[in-house]
Amino acid sequence: MQHIQDIFSLLEHPKKVVITTHQKPDGDAMGSSLGLYHFLIQFGHQVQVISPTNWASFLSWMPGCATVLDYESETSRCDKMIADADWIFCLDFNTLVRTKKMEQALAASGAERILIDHHQQPQSEMFAYGVSDTTKSSTAEMVYDFIVGSGFQNKLNDDIAQCLYAGVMTDTGSFRFPSTSAAVHTMVADLLARGLKQSVIHQHLFDNFSESRLRFIGNVLSNRMQVFYEYNTALISIPQQDLVKYEIKTGDTEGLVNYPLSIEGIKLAAIIIDRGEERKCSFRSKGDFDVNTFARSYFDGGGHYNAAGGQSKEPLEAVVAKFMMAIKENKDKLSTYQF
């Protein structure tokens, strides 16, 4: 993988570009992809953002979101664009399997794949160019660095600013995670100085849900959460019937895993959701418990040191049993807790 700066001199030569990200894109995945989109179109490139799956409706306000294609609902159109592309930017993921059904088309394309990502253990041999930096708060921050590094920061417009702000805010938990470096605040200061209205973005992302989702959260916290103080661990497990009863849609469960982490002394929080086709897991930790390794070891997943995810094809009860076994095996690491 050559360094991403090697494409700076090629930016002014119009190309067919596809930008893609991980399945079920979150604020950082969609924000970084659309931020890059609004930058590249200014050079006359033909740019298409393709999401491997659908996404949460609370992301749809983002400028340009209406032009994004959902691979699962427009597969043949997307396959043609992927096959014909000169460049495919891969943002906020680093192994092609994270794009689910799109994986084959991405691997088969003759395009140069370009990585911009902050997760651990990239599949570097799959990318012609790229930057992989696990110290970065978000892929949105890396797109900002890319724009500034290219020398074209004069092209940083309000559309880009809105998308990148949404991304960095999502992945830093509204600027509170340890990854929120001075560079993150410098970037945000620059976006604000360019006229960004940040409070509108907070409203779009946090004050835009259905009544039913709030009642669902009430049910989850009352009836679906277990706390294991012996292991400084809390687990939420959600059966599919709850998703049906409360009409839960893509994105409605995002952030739920953070509630148990707010309990004093809890070091590991987990959520396991029965989505029908698979059981999806999310893990969050405080302090020195590495959930990336935990997710990789037991749940075919990965992510970051304090935030990771995985999945399983086993029934919900079996996944919960596996989780209980896993925390027992990690008791030594979990039972010590220092603030």
Per partner kind, with CB cut-offs from 5 to 8 A, the member of Mn ion, ligand 5GP, none near residue 333 is none
CB of 144 to Mn ion, least distance (A): 13
Residue closer to ligand 5GP (CB basis): 282 or 285: 282
CB of 67 to ligand 5GP, least distance (A): 24
Residue closer to ligand 5GP (CB basis): 40 or 303: 303
| C-alpha to C-alpha distance for 155 and 158, rounded to whole angstroms | 10
CB of 238 to ligand 5GP, least distance (A): 14
Is residue 281 a contact partner of residue 295, using CB atoms and an 8 Å limit?
yes
Question: Taken in order 90, 95, 100, 105, is the CA torsion positive or negative?
Answer: positive
Per partner kind, with CB cut-offs from 5 to 8 A, the member of Mn ion, ligand 5GP, none near residue 48 is none
State how far the alpha carbon of 36 is from the alpha carbons of 49, 143, 156, 203, 295, in Å.
9, 6, 10, 23, 30
Residue closer to ligand 5GP (CB basis): 277 or 332: 277
DSSP, res 138: -
Per partner kind, with CB cut-offs from 5 to 8 A, the member of ligand 5GP, Mn ion, none near residue 56 is none
Residue closer to Mn ion (CB basis): 149 or 173: 173
Per partner kind, with CB cut-offs from 5 to 8 A, the member of ligand 5GP, Mn ion, none near residue 279 is none
CB of 259 to ligand 5GP, least distance (A): 13
Residue closer to ligand 5GP (CB basis): 113 or 304: 304
* Cβ count near 325 (within 10 Å): 11
Is residue 327 a contact partner of residue 233, using CB atoms and an 8 Å limit?
yes
Binding residues for Mn ion, rule: CB under 5 A, are 28, 92, 139, 171
Per partner kind, with CB cut-offs from 5 to 8 A, the member of Mn ion, ligand 5GP, none near residue 309 is ligand 5GP
Is residue 48 a contact partner of residue 143, using CB atoms and an 8 Å limit?
no
CA within 13 Å, CB half, 323? 32
Give residue number: closest CB to Mn ion. Answer: 28
Binding residues for ligand 5GP, rule: CB under 6 A, are 22, 119, 282, 301-304, 307-311
Task: Copy the structure tokens of residue 183.
Answer: 């560079």
Residue closer to ligand 5GP (CB basis): 24 or 38: 24
CB of 294 to ligand 5GP, least distance (A): 11
Q: Cα-atom radius of gyration of the chain, to the nearest Å?
A: 20
Which residues face 131 on adjacent strands? 116
Task: Copy the structure tokens of residue 281.
Answer: 């897991």
Could you give the maximum distance between any two Cα atoms of the chain, in Å? 60
Q: Tell me the three state secondary structure of residue 18.
A: strand
Per partner kind, with CB cut-offs from 5 to 8 A, the member of Mn ion, ligand 5GP, none near residue 28 is Mn ion
Residue closer to ligand 5GP (CB basis): 8 or 177: 177
CA 136 to mean position of chain CA atoms: 13
